[in-house]
Chains A and B, each alone.
Chain A
């Protein structure tokens, strides 16, 4: 059964998979035990002769107590054992220092990814500026935002680096699902949530939406490209080049009213 899991390429994914298999083996053991007894009873204690009496017996408190205490101990053990792994993945004070920060915005039915430009600083966001042409609501007055670049349905990250994602949505709830990274986090409008992961293997992986967001829910697919650092740097420079080219093309440095940050954003299909 566990062979069906998509390949894990994330650092904390090992913990998740380990727990998955632990619970799997415990469950299979319990399942076999209970059902073996059950089936044995079904055959052993079926009525064979008319008039025979069942054993008149109302129960046994010691047994009752032990089959309360044993599952209790087992389940509590599982809870506390799971919690260690959960805390490492989700608690913000345990998140490792990120090497790269990316903002991700869900929109029916696509994903926007925003990288800080060459300055490494994200321009200020304000939800009032949010529009299909400016999904992150980047403040046009903030010079830091001028070189931010936004991609659609494709995300690039360097291998073996901690990536921190700031996640939100501009319309309904979506869920940012990276099967190979063992990442799933709902993107809730009006709220920013942090998720991190660290891929140990280069390659192309799929990103999906896991929360019903409308009839195009199934189309919300993006591609994650995990590259060696050098390739990633090249990619980043290309992106940056295109942003500055767009800035230059837009002419005057005075861009107060234009939406330069969205220059690399192709027209977004509205639903």
Chain B
């Protein structure tokens, strides 16, 4: 643990300049801040790819069989028909890639890769991650995996087309694109595990002197617990993917029963005796915890942003920490709620329903504590705050819709309908992605050394917020109407025909939602070069990253650090300001107060005629 030893002695001076080559600095960098930026850059590219896919999907659902406007004719004939309309084959690939990209190449890399890397070492006062080289490896596996997944475009049969859940036998009798998908997820999982080990070690070993676990900001707690979930869950996914790979390639039968009748594949080489449901158990044993991998860091970021801009201590800090731990633990016990209608023994439905209802409790605790944080605060509605506030209320909707699905009899009807699609977008977009926006705006000054444009940021927020709800809320109604997920053309069914106007409404909102995201990119790129220079601590926050220069140099801090208090001492009566950074010594606080009082007294006596 050489790096760990360094922290005490390692106080890089501001002028400490490493002469690095371009390649070392921008490409194979081991600096956690550069790696965070690389994660961010790559994930945002994928955000736009995944978003474009979603818009093709939406176009088809609103106007089934009609040519894609403007670009329909330009797309290759394997994707669109002669008129330029999406084909059913391509549609299925699009929905698979949309889900897989958004989950594995956007949300996880943004929340864990970007914020974990950028914020964790800075917030604990470390000069870098514990294993900088592993960190670099963890990053580089990710674009590699992304490219492999997209490579499905160029192989026969196209991209993977079995949904992001990849249920066999469908995924085990599939084309080359599916194999690429398997390998890609395997690599991403590998990257996650490496990253997870790194975060755990960093948080445990590299905290600034004086900082104990209950002095950690919620973002760090959340990433830490998330890393533990990753390390527990991801190997299971890796095992399942390996088996699926073998079923595809070596004709093994982990998930394959005997005597399947499949026109596209010679099944005589598959002995059978396997169980399709085994995949679902293994997949959800990872993927249910994975939904928490995708929300816990967001909850952490939002907690920090809310406290900072409410100028108030986080309400119930310890309860918040224990709620995260409870979610992580219970999250391992609820995977079966994705399988209520799968043919698994209904007795298990009962058990998994009870555990699922219980896991809603810590989510409720967190919501109430966020409300408590705002209570009697002095809220400043900056752009990060707006996004954090939106997170809370969107998360409430996502949590409440979860209750419907947790109730097994109701789930009979809404399982595999648009109700689920509504739910996952309220938690993953309304939740995770709004948290990502909050974090991006919050740390932008620290990352770039410049302020973003407030006006564009607000436009981006309001446009996103309104069209997000316009896009995803009606999906609950479609689900109540019974509209199945993953169908290419709802008008095939008489009972779905009345919903076509709603589908068009959703698509129009989705278009605006998609294009509104260019505002984010424009704001980031423009402000990165042209923005107003940022101070060290533009938000007047308490955590350690704001002690470092903006942007922090290699090695992060130019002053020695020691931590004296928790991260949420806002509006403390001890302090003359309405915040109290973690690293200011108590003597200094007292001295500041004394100076302040003296100044006050002086200005009062000055009114009486005698100055100092």
Contacts and interface: CB of A to CB of B under 8 A. Distances in A.
Contacts of B476: 1
Contact of A215 (B92, B261, B317, B417): B92
Contacts of A5: 413, 480-482
Contacts of B342: 186, 188
Contacts of A184: 341, 412-413, 415-416
A73 to B, nearest CB: 10
Interface string B322-357: 000000000000000000011100110110011001
B261 A170 contact: yes
A171 interface: yes
Nearest to B312: A54
Contacts of B407: 19, 23, 78-79, 82
Contacts of B258: 127, 190
Interface string B465-496: 00000000000110011101111111011110
B584 to A, nearest CB: 16
A236 interface: no
Contacts of B239: none
A212 B485 contact: yes
B93 to A, nearest CB: 9
A58 B313 contact: yes
Contacts of A128: 259
A263 to B, nearest CB: 19
B83 interface: no
A218 interface: yes
Contacts of B55: none
Contact of B276 (A64, A182, A188, A271): A188
Contacts of B480: 1-2, 4-5
B163 A54 contact: no
Interface string A17-28: 001100110110
Contact of A212 (B168, B170, B311, B380): B170
A246 interface: no
A47 interface: yes
Contact of A71 (B361, B396, B477, B486): B361
A41 B276 CA distance: 50
Nearest to B273: A190
Contact of B477 (A4, A52, A58, A92): A4
Given A57-B313, A210-B484, A217-B92, A75 B571 contact: no
Contact of B378 (A2, A6, A54): A54
Given A27-B400, A35-B393, A185-B343, A55 B380 contact: no
Interface in B407-444: 407-410, 412-413, 415-417
A54 B488 contact: no
B92 A130 contact: no
B282 interface: no
B349 A1 contact: no
Given A20-B404, A45-B378, A171 B484 contact: no
A64 to B, nearest CB: 5
Greatest chain A CB density within 10 A among B91, B173, B263 is at B263
Interface stretch (B11-19, B135-143, B362-370): B362-370
Interface string A56-79: 111110011001100110011011
Contacts of B168: 172
Contact of A86 (B312, B378, B404, B408): B408
A86 B379 contact: no
Contacts of A219: 492
Given A38-B371, A54-B570, A219-B492, A68 B361 contact: yes
B495 A41 contact: no
A179 B478 CA distance: 13
Given A4-B480, A23-B404, A27-B403, A206 B353 contact: no
A214 to B, nearest CB: 6
B360 interface: yes
B89 interface: yes
A203 to B, nearest CB: 12
A193 interface: yes
B586 interface: no
B167 A64 contact: no
B350 A87 contact: yes
Interface in A1-43: 1-2, 4-6, 15-16, 19-20, 23-24, 26-27, 30-31, 34-35, 37-38, 41-42
A78 B354 CA distance: 9
A91 B346 contact: yes
B488 A86 contact: no
Given A59-B319, A213-B170, A221-B493, A67 B368 contact: yes
A219 B488 CA distance: 9
Contacts of B274: 190
B392 interface: yes
A1 B477 contact: yes
B353 A86 contact: yes
B272 interface: yes
A262 B404 CA distance: 43
B319 A79 contact: no
Contacts of B396: 30-31, 34-35
Given A15-B409, A132-B261, A191-B257, A215 B91 contact: yes
A190 B490 CA distance: 29
Interface in B470-524: 476-477, 480-482, 484-490, 492-495
A228 interface: no
Interface in A214-228: 214-219, 221
Contact of A45 (B367, B377, B415): B377
B162 to A, nearest CB: 7
B67 interface: no
Contact of A173 (B276, B315, B477): B276
Interface in B515-539: none
10 contacts: A19-B407, A19-B409, A24-B404, A56-B573, A58-B316, A59-B313, A64-B316, A71-B364, A78-B403, A218-B488
Q: Which 9 residue pairs spanning A and B have beta carbons closest together?
A: A190-B257, A90-B346, A55-B376, A59-B316, A218-B487, A75-B357, A127-B259, A179-B482, A210-B416
Interface of B: 87-89, 91-92, 161-163, 167-170, 173, 257-264, 272, 274-277, 310-313, 315-317, 319, 341-343, 346-347, 349-350, 353-354, 357-358, 360-361, 364-365, 367-369, 371-372, 374-381, 389, 392-393, 396-397, 400-401, 403-404, 406-410, 412-413, 415-417, 476-477, 480-482, 484-490, 492-495, 568, 570-573, 578
Interface of A: 1-2, 4-6, 15-16, 19-20, 23-24, 26-27, 30-31, 34-35, 37-38, 41-42, 45-47, 52-60, 63-64, 67-68, 71-72, 75-76, 78-80, 82-83, 85-87, 89-92, 107, 127-128, 130-132, 135, 137, 170-173, 175, 177, 179-180, 182-191, 193, 206, 208-219, 221, 270-271
Given A6-B482, A46-B378, A55-B375, 4 more contacts: A45-B378, A85-B409, A172-B167, A175-B416
